[in-house]
Every structure is written in C-alpha cells, then in structure tokens.
Amino acid sequence: MTNIDAGPDAGASRAADDAAADLLGRIAGDEDARARLAPQLAFALARSAAKAGSGALTSGRWLADVVVDAAPRIPVRNLQTLREHHAGLDGEVLADALVKSAVLATAAVGVAGGAVTAVKWTVPVTLLTLPLQLAVETAAVAAIEIKLVAELHEVYGVAVAGTGTQRGAAYALSWANRRGVNPLEPATMSVALGMVARQRVQRRLVGRAGRGIGTLAPMMIGAAYGAVSNRRQTIALSDSLRSDLRRNRPLVGGLTGLAVSHLLDPTRSPRRIFRRRQGTLNRDRLTP
C-alpha cells in the first residue's frame, strides 16, 4: 500500500503544523507577545491549511489536530509558581484570579479579530480570508483556555502525571468536555491519547467557531461581539470545570463521566433511582 504521507510534501506539512502548534503554545503562555505573534500564527496556519486536504479543512479536523498538537507545548505553572505569581493567593481566590486573567485574554483576542476584520472590509476579500482569520481567533482562544484548564487542575490539586504529550492531550480533552481529568481512572489517559480526544476537540472547535462568526461583522460591531462572546464562553468553561474539580472525584465528562459517576456512587444508578421512586409510589398507594 502506498504511503501518501511519505516524501518531501509530508515533511513540509509536518513543519507547517509544528510551526503553528509552537506559536499557539507561545501565545497561550506569553501575554506580552500575543499581539506580536498573532500575524505569525496567521501565516503559519495558512501554510498548514494549504497542506491539509479539503475534507480536513471543512470538517475542522485540521484545526483540531493543530490544537491537540499545541497542547503539550503550552507552559503550565505548578501550584507554587501560581502562588508566587499572584502574591500568595490560594484556593478559590487564586482560581478567580486565573479565570479573570483568561477572560481578559480571550476577550482581547476577540477584539483584535473583529478589528482586523473591520479593516479588511475596506479592501477586496476572498472566501479564504475571513475563515482563516476566524481559525486564528478560535485556535488562540482554545490555547488560552487549555492553559486555564491545566492551571485550574493545579489549583484544585488534580494535576495530571505523565509525559508532556499525555498531559497536554488530557487537558485538551478536559477543555473539550468542560470536565475535570480523573488521574486515577486509566481510561481517561487512553481516551485522551486516542482519536476520541481529537474528535471531541474537533466538535468543540467547530461549535466555538460557529459562535464566533459574529466577529466577521463589519466595523467595530465584530470587535464588540468577539469580546463579549469569548468572555461568555470562557466564563462558562471555568464555571463548569470548577464545579467538577470541587468534587472529590473529578470525572472525564460526557457519557464516560456519567458511567464512572454511577460506578462510584451506586445511589445514583438508574436501577437504584427507579427502585426508590417505585417504593415511594407504593407507600403513597398504601397511605390512607
């Protein structure tokens, strides 16, 4: 069978993907460099997209692959470093500070995306120009939020062990599910490293891009919409994730998390719930 990924084209494609993933990691970790790195990211994503097939582009699989590959390159501060960077804050107060910083960052990305689009409306545009700008914003926001997810795990004492690739994939899956990672559940890591993780990240990115389509509106309407939309989505992510991490048994989310929760808490199983409800009905019938 012929290996279609072999040869110089495959090497160029891998280099383009690596460049985009590396820039996303730097954008997530360096607040001061984001504005400077954004044009470089747009160029790198354009090169990466040119090497991807049309199916990967339209489905969102290409962007999901870039984001998942970027996740291990995102610098994550441990709890001690987070405390030092936030004047000794701890617990919920420290988590609040991290969320506030991430909200400001994603809102700023939305403003920048809308402002760039406002300029582009004064010159001829192609069908490729606007989707690429939206891809840049979506990927940058995802990287910033994955960093938030990882550092919230640190704050709540649920840091994930393993290699950088394993941790990055687990946090990307956590971001896609809006649920905490359960480091004690072996299935979490196997799922995170498989195609399931990339598919979940892909669905989340496509949904996020769809909600961000308002940034393509002309003039500063797009900038305002981008800021508000990104702010709302980042807050929703943090609220859901923190609620999950506050529990003593963080779950992986989705159907897997539901199944694990039932196993850990038999009182929540459908059979037990049915029996309790049936018993209540029987008692009501017997009560004069």
Q: What pLDDT digit, counting tens, does each position of 165-178 carry?
A: 888 988 998 999 89
Angular region, 247: left φ>0, alpha ψ -120 to 50, beta rest: beta
pLDDT tens column, 184-229: 554 555 555 566 677 788 888 877 666 555 444 444 444 556 677 8
pLDDT beyond 80 at 150 = yes
pLDDT (average), residues 137-141: 89
Could you tell me if 259 and 241 lie in one domain? no
pLDDT beyond 90 at 70 = yes
pLDDT of residue 270: 46
Say how far apart CA 229 and CA 66 lie, in whole Å. Answer: 23
Per-state percent for the chain, helix, strand, coil, to nearest 5: 80, 0, 20
Say how far apart CA 41 and CA 34 lie, in whole Å. Answer: 10
Could you tell me if 176 and 124 lie in one domain? yes
Q: How many structural domains compose the chain? A: 2
Asked if residue 2 is part of any domain, the answer here is no
Question: What value does the mean pLDDT of the chain take?
Answer: 74
What's the predicted TM-score (pTM) here? Answer: 0.74
Could you tell me if 268 and 226 lie in one domain? no
Asked if residue 32 is part of any domain, the answer here is yes
Could you tell me if 161 and 280 lie in one domain? no
Could you tell me if 160 and 244 lie in one domain? yes
Asked if residue 246 is part of any domain, the answer here is yes
Domain encompassing residue 29: 8-252
pLDDT tens column, 220-230: 444 556 677 88
H-type alpha helices, 60-128: 61-70, 79-85, 91-120
pLDDT of residue 185: 59
Confidence of residue 122 (pLDDT cuts 50, 70, 90): very low
Q: Of all residues in the chain, what percent carry a pLDDT higher than 70? A: 62
Could you tell me if 152 and 262 lie in one domain? no
Could you tell me if 28 and 155 lie in one domain? yes
pLDDT tens column, 85-97: 999 999 999 999 9
Could you tell me if 21 and 151 lie in one domain? yes
Residues 6+ apart with CB under 8 A from 65: 17, 56, 198
